[in-house]
Structures are given as structure tokens and as C-alpha cells.
Amino acid sequence: MSLSSKRLHEEKVFKDPVHRYIHVRDTLIWLLIGTKEFQRLRRVRQLGTTSMTFHGAEHSRFSHSLGVYEITRRMINVFAGRDHWNEEDRLLVLSAALLHDVGHGPFSHSFEKVFHTDHEWWTRQIILGETEVNAVLRQVDPQFPQAVADVIAKKSSNKLMTSMISSQIDADRMDYLLRDAYYTGVSYGHFDLERILRVMRPECDQVVVKASGMHAVEDYIMSRYQMYWQVYFHPVTRSSEVILSKILWRVRKLQEKGYKFRQPPRHFASLFTNELSLDDYLRLDETVMYFYFQAWQDEEDPILRDLCTRFLNRRLFQYIEFQPEKREEDWQKLQQLFMEMGVDPDYYLVQDSSSDLPYDVYRPGAGERVPIQLLMPDGSLRELSQESNVVEAISGKKRTDYKLYYPKDTLSACGQRVAREEAVRILTRG
């Protein structure tokens, strides 16, 4: 019997703080959760370094993935029996929902910038390659893995399915907003999920929302806006992120220079040669990264040693508002002064802007995620920001937050009084 029609003898549930219970009826889903590639997500935190700012946010991508599955499941319950929804697509969407993040590595954002990896590419490898996930999916049908990968990669001809897990109001975002709000403990991030699900309708090309539910959607967009500015772009989190990135750059640089590591970055080795195998990649979880960070506190290289110690003990960089194009001269001068002080500006004077982050506010016109369409009483569709003042106000207006990060403590301890005092003067001029 194909796995496509197998059901568990008794429904299984996972206790979940956000959705109360996560319900599993299909044997396929149960088996996918049990694969080692999916279990690995327990060792990758959802919010990377955010727990340095919000100590409660220590939840993993495992929890989030279950949540995306559960929201999708409930969405399907609403769609059942309606036009444009084909019940035969159920397992396909559920699998895609569950597996959409399976290729994420630790601290993805920093990692990918330094090593040019791409979690979406790895997601496809895990689904299509020689993995337990693939073996389970093939039990449905030999074409099934490809179909799942296509939905996740937005290459499926069925755009409705894609929009369920990847659009401006999809199961992915709805889960992470609620979940990140719950674990950080902030009061933003809440919205009426049940109401939104009730007013969602399947259309030919995408999920739309009945106009009567517009205010619930506004509330969701506002939650998102608040979470971005209050949590995701928090300057302290970005400070940890800056240090983390610089560690990775340093390792790469040292490796290139032929530096002899006391604890060689064995797990990273093939990264440098672009020969990273799937197996290697799967071993690179957060615990392994931490192992190296800890070991590297004893390296000879003072920069790697210092950065790792900072990261582990949360000795973060200070920051000031600093928009480079407006202060080009200060920027040049600071770099020079840092060099005079013997503090390498490549690692210790870091510009960072929030627009570098993989989050955005609602943008109706651009981006790959389809905008939100309201289903009007007369059956026509209207893009959300056309109807909502509030959404119009925040959509598209990309606000960038420029910061300059530097180690205040190192400067204080620096013996080059003249250079130091001038640097401090510039840094505190604001």
C-alpha cells in the first residue's frame, strides 16, 4: 500500500505552547518527523543569536517546522470542499510545509554570507538526495520528492500550494511571528490566527482573504512590523551577529593564509574547497559550531581568540547610529585611528544595516512573495494596501537602520591615548 493513504491507528499529538496541540494522522508525516534530517533541526535554533538579547528565545527550527505543518493542516481543513482546492494535494502541501526549512544550518544568515552556502539549495538536496527524508517520500510515489521540492522552491505549476507556505501571509510567517513572540515574551506578535484561517479562501493562483477579515490581517501586518523593529532588528542581536560573522571571516582568512590551528576546523574543511558533501553539511549543527568557538578561545591568533571569547561570554560590541555615506570622512578617519591603536578595523569597526537582514515589512509590489489579495463581497480581488490605510503606511517604505559596531572595552584599555581620544570623540559625536 502506498504511504499516501496510510493513516496512524490513533492520532498522535505533540504538546505545543503556541498551537496547544499539533495533530498528526498521516503515517507519512509521522515518518518524516522521525527522520534524522528532520530531528537534526532540534540542534539549530530558530532565531540564532537573538537569545543573547531575549534570553527566552532558545527555541529550535524543529518546533517552528512542526508549527508550520500544523497551521497548514488547519488551513486545509478550511479549504476542504471548496473550489480550487484539490484534496489530493493535501499530503504534498503538508510535506512541503513540514520540510520547507529542513536545509537550514546553524546561524544561517551569517554562515551563508561568509561561505556562500544556500539553505534552499540544501533543502532540495535533502529532499532529493540519499537521505531518510527522501526514502520516506518515495514511498508515496517516485515523483513525490520532486513535487515536494518544487512546491518549496516555488517552481510548482500549482501556485495555490506555494502561496500556502510562501507568500505574504503564509503558514511559515504566521507560525514564526506567534512563536517568536511567545518565546521572547514580547507583547507584540500576537494576532488572531483562528480568525485569519476562517477567512482564508483558495483561489486559482493563491490564497486570498475575505474582505470581512481585513482588520485581522492588518493586525497581522502590524505584528510583523513590530516584531521586525523590536525583535529581529534589535541592535544587540545584531551585535552578536556581527561578532559571529567576523569569527567566520577570520577562520576563512586564517585557513587561506595557511595558519596552523590548534583545533583545526575539520567540519568546515570542505567548505573552503567548495566540496561540501550533504553528509558534511548535515553534521554542521549549532552544537558543533559552539564546540569550535570554545576550542578557539585557546588559539594563538589573537583576533580569533578574542572574538570567540566575546561570543561565548557575551562581551558584545557597542554601537552608535552611523550612516556611512553621510559621514564618509569620519569613517575614513576612524579606520585610520583604529589601525593606529592596533585594533584591526576589518574586525572591530563594523557597519551594519538592518536592510541586510532576511526580513522585510509588507511590500505589495516587489519581492518574490505574492502580495495579499482581499476577496471583496462582489467576488473581485483587491490588493491589501489599496484598502488599508495602516498597511499602506508601512508597506514598501524600507526604513534602514544604520549602525556602527565597535569594542568599547578594547578602546578603553588601549594605550594610544591620542588616537583613542580622537576616536572616542568621533564615536560619541552622534
Q: Does residue number 27 form part of the binding site for its own copies (CB under 8 A)?
A: no
Residue placing its CB nearer to its own copies in the complex, 63 or 95: 63
Nearest to 115 by CA among 303, 243, 269: 269
Comparing CB distances to its own copies, the nearer of 16 and 422 is 16
Closer Cβ to its own copies, 121 or 291, answer by number = 291
Q: Does 30 bind its own copies (CB under 8 A)?
A: no
Contact residue for its own copies among 2, 5, 36, 83 (CB under 8 A) = 36
Within 13 A of 147's CA, how many CA atoms are on the CB side? 17
Q: Which is nearer to its own copies, 50 or 162 (CB)?
A: 50
Binders of its own copies among residues 183 to 202 (CB under 8 A) are 183-188, 190-192, 194-195, 198
Does residue number 425 form part of the binding site for its own copies (CB under 8 A)?
no
Q: How far apart are the first and last CA of the chain?
A: 69
Q: Among residue numbers 262 through 291, which ones bind its own copies (CB under 8 A)?
A: 283, 285-291
Shortest CB 299 distance to its own copies, Å: 15
For the sheet containing 207-210, what is the strand order?
A: 200-202, 207-210, 373-375, 381-383
**Integer Cα distance of 212 and 220 in angstroms:** 14
* Of 241 and 285, CB closest to its own copies: 285
- Confirm if 132 and 35 have CB atoms less than 8 A apart: yes
CA separation (Å) from 372 to 78, 215, 220, 292, 384? 18, 13, 12, 44, 6
Of residues 312 and 366, the one with the C-beta less far from its own copies: 312
Q: CB of residue 287 vs its own copies: minimum separation in angstroms?
A: 4
For 88, other C-beta atoms within 10 Å of its C-beta total 8
Task: Report, in Å, the least distance between residue 192 CB and its own copies.
Answer: 4
Of 291 and 418, nearer to its own copies (C-beta) is 291
Task: Look at residues 233, 201, 203, 196 and name the one whose alpha carbon lies nearest to residue 218.
Answer: 196
Q: Are 372 and 213 in contact (CB under 8 A)?
A: no
Residue type, 206: Q
54 binds its own copies (CB under 8 A): yes
Cα(144)–Cα(109) distance, integer angstroms? 29
Does 15 contact its own copies by CB under 8 A?
A: yes
Which residue reads 483562528 in cell numbers? 194
Q: Decide if 376 contacts 320 (C-beta within 8 A).
A: no
Using the rule CB under 8 A, is 8 a contact of its own copies? no
Q: Segment contacting its own copies (CB under 8 A): 10-18, 110-118, 159-167, 246-254?
A: 10-18
Q: How many CB atoms lie within 10 A of CB 212?
A: 14
- Contact positions with its own copies (CB under 8 A) in 348-377: none
Q: Is 342 helix (H, G, I), strand (E, B) or coil?
A: coil
Told to check if 21 binds its own copies by CB under 8 A, we report yes
Minimum CB separation of residue 322 from its own copies in Å reads 15
Regarding 218 and contact with its own copies (CB under 8 A), the answer is yes
CB 92 within 8 A of CB 33: no
x/- letters, 105..144, toward its own copies (CB under 8 A): ----------------------------------------
Restricting to residues 374-403, name those near its own copies by CB under 8 A: 389-390, 392-394, 397, 399
Q: Which residues bind its own copies (CB under 8 A)?
A: 13-18, 20-21, 34-36, 39-40, 42-43, 51, 54-56, 58-60, 62-63, 66, 182-188, 190-192, 194-195, 198, 215, 218-219, 222, 225-226, 229-230, 283, 285-291, 294, 312-314, 389-390, 392-394, 397, 399
